[in-house]
Amino acid sequence: MTAPGGGRLVVCPTPIGNLEDITLRAVEALRSADVIACEDTRTSKVLLDRYEITTPRVRYDEHVERRAAAQLVGRIREGETVALVSDAGMPLVSDPGFVLVAMAIEEGLAIEVLPGPSSVTTALVASGLPAERWSFVGFLPRKRGELTKLFEEEQTLVAFESPRRAAATLKLLAGLDPSRPVALCRELTKRFEEVVRGSAAELAERFASAPPKGEVVLVIGAAESGSGDRAAAEAAVRELVAAGAKARAAATAVAGLTGLSANDLYRAVATPGH
């Protein structure tokens, strides 16, 4: 089938768990396309079979993205309609697709992006945290310094996290700001969906001995103004103590450099749970 006016690229979000969450518009786009570019053709087959979609599929993942994108752009240029899907949710959002979309834009080809399911916005709303101003950072970095900097953001933070690292991430956040509101959302829209809300300290304790299972989205409340400096100062005191310094002396030294209260810094590192 050749789309009116020439070929086009149709970006189609797919369900993040429950297959019934696909839109009617996306089903029609997948049925009428000439080819479907899939992050994993086996994963997509489950959804396509559910809706009796027999459109040919080709592989399009991070390992073949540039080569596959060039081939797909060539097909669009020749008048074909290419539908792009990832394993779940919106393509390009921590999933392959950017190279193809960028190439299509550069070639001046028609692009249609369909609205649909996203674990990012689903988790944000389910968290109950403020959604007027927020940021999505994809998968959280593994380095402590980069994580600490992210936790200083004065807006709601949404991020993907590995279930294997979730407990350590929550422990780090609890050490910096134990009262920070957090929601851990796992297996959204699936059978074992769970949203756990509470303070960073509460969630760190809950998942310390029993890490969450399945796909995890963390939603972290905004840091209070100036809390980033305080968190960095407390971290500096802890590092000095770990290196052998006395807690009181370390707190006094850091307080002299930052202007913060030495007593507050000392209590923060000396009080259990901080």
Q: Nearest 5°: phi and psi at 135? A: -135, 150
Q: Nearest 5°: phi and psi at 114? A: -90, 145
Instruction: Determine which of 47-56, 78-87, 134-143, 220-229 has the lowest per-residue pLDDT on average.
Output: 220-229
CA-nearest of 165, 172, 167, 199 to 183 is 199
8-11, strands of its sheet edge to edge: 57-59, 35-38, 81-85, 8-11, 110-113
CA-nearest of 215, 250, 196 to 95 is 215
CATH class of 8-113: alpha beta
pLDDT, position 232? 77
pLDDT, position 227? 57
Instruction: Determine which of 39-43, 50-54, 213-217, 232-236 has the lowest per-residue pLDDT on average.
Output: 232-236
| Amino acid, res. 48 | L
CATH class of 119-220: alpha beta
pLDDT at 1 over 50: no
pLDDT at 17 over 90: yes
Please answer whether residues 16 and 189 qualify as being in contact, where contact means their C-beta atoms are separated by less than 8 angstroms.
yes
Q: Where are the domains of the chain?
A: 8-113, 119-220, 227-270
pLDDT in tens, 157-182: 999 999 999 999 999 999 989 999 99
What does the block give as tokens for 174?
């609890």
pLDDT, position 4? 43
pLDDT in tens, 85-112: 999 999 999 999 999 999 999 999 999 9
Please answer whether residues 202 and 229 qualify as being in contact, where contact means their C-beta atoms are separated by less than 8 angstroms.
no
If DSSP codes are grouped into helix, strand and coil, which group holds residue 42?
A: helix
What is the pTM assigned to this prediction?
A: 0.78
pLDDT category of residue 2 using cuts at 50, 70 and 90:
very low
If DSSP codes are grouped into helix, strand and coil, which group holds residue 196?
A: strand
pLDDT at 199 over 70: yes
